[in-house]
């Protein structure tokens, strides 16, 4: 059972409610024992937190279909801010209903466990990059992550979004882009010189 099938099974088996969020909007998602399990059915969004510098930093990026908030099933109710990178549709069901279904259905419980395991691996990789990586490393990791997502046509992926994702100032992202462009131009120039020397020989 892949991610799409798991989300489909949950949508069929649980009493979900649905809401729509406009592109480039902040919304608050409630998790934990008194909150909800969320499924992103359409769109692209990232969960964010505030840094000490007063900027936003992405905690996760989600395309459809994705389960959101399942890491805090047994915690007290808490709230997380999400920012929509495209027009998004979210469905939500009470955590207690979700847990009751896991107790009853071994197949869904098993596939949910596999989903969580994959999510944990992604979280560990993100933690390593954010702890040990440079800003360039973090930008590259975000771009690689986005490349694996199913992007809606209205997805917003500007330098401001990249800055928000990695917890940096947009000006820093602009400088990195220029450095990358200069580096690419230098490489092209060197390759062209090598080709010219080879042809002369």
Please report whether residue 181 resides in a domain: no
| 60: nearest Cα among 31, 43, 82, 78 | 82
Cis bond before residue 84 (omega within 30° of 0):
no
Per-residue confidence band for 195, with pLDDT thresholds at 50, 70 and 90: low
Higher pLDDT pick, 34 / 191 = 34
Has residue 101 been placed in a domain? yes
- Confirm whether 174 is domain-assigned: no
pLDDT tens digits along 86-114:
999 999 999 999 999 999 999 999 999 99
In a domain, 57, yes or no: yes
pLDDT in tens, 22-40: 999 999 998 888 889 999 9
Domain of 61, in residue numbers:
3-168
From the list 72, 68, 53, 46, the residue with the least C-alpha distance to 157 is 46
- Residue 119 located in a structural domain: yes
Asked, for residue 76, whether it belongs to a domain, the answer is yes
Instruction: Provide the domain count of the chain.
Output: 1
Q: Is residue 185 part of a domain?
A: no
Instruction: Flag whether 176 is in a domain.
Output: no
Per-chain mean pLDDT for the chain: 85
pLDDT score of 129: 79
CATH code of the domain in which 75 resides: 2.60.120.10
Q: Which of 42-46, 125-129, 145-149 has the highest mean pLDDT?
A: 42-46
């Amino acid at each position: 059972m892949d991610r799409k099938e798991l989300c489909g099974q949950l949508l069929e088996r649980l009493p979900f409610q649905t809401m729509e969020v406009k592109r480039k909007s902040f919304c608050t998602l409630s998790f934990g024992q008194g909150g909800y399990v969320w499924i992103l059915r359409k769109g692209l969004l990232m969960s964010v937190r505030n840094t000490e510098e007063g900027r936003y930093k992405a905690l996760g990026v989600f395309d459809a279909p994705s389960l959101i908030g399942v890491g805090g099933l047994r915690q007290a109710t808490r709230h997380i801010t999400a920012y929509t990178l495209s027009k998004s549709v979210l469905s939500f069901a009470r955590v207690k209903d979700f847990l009751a279904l896991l107790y009853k259905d071994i197949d869904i419980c098993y596939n949910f466990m596999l989903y969580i395991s994959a999510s944990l691996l992604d979280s560990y990789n993100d933690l390593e990059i954010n702890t040990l990586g440079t800003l360039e490393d973090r930008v590259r990791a975000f771009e690689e992550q986005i490349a694996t997502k199913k992007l809606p046509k209205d997805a917003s992926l500007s330098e401001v979004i990249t800055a928000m994702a990695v917890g940096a100032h947009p000006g820093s992202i602009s400088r990195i882009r220029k450095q990358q462009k200069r580096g690419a131009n230098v490489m092209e120039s060197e390759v062209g010189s090598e080709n010219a020397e080879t042809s002369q020989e």
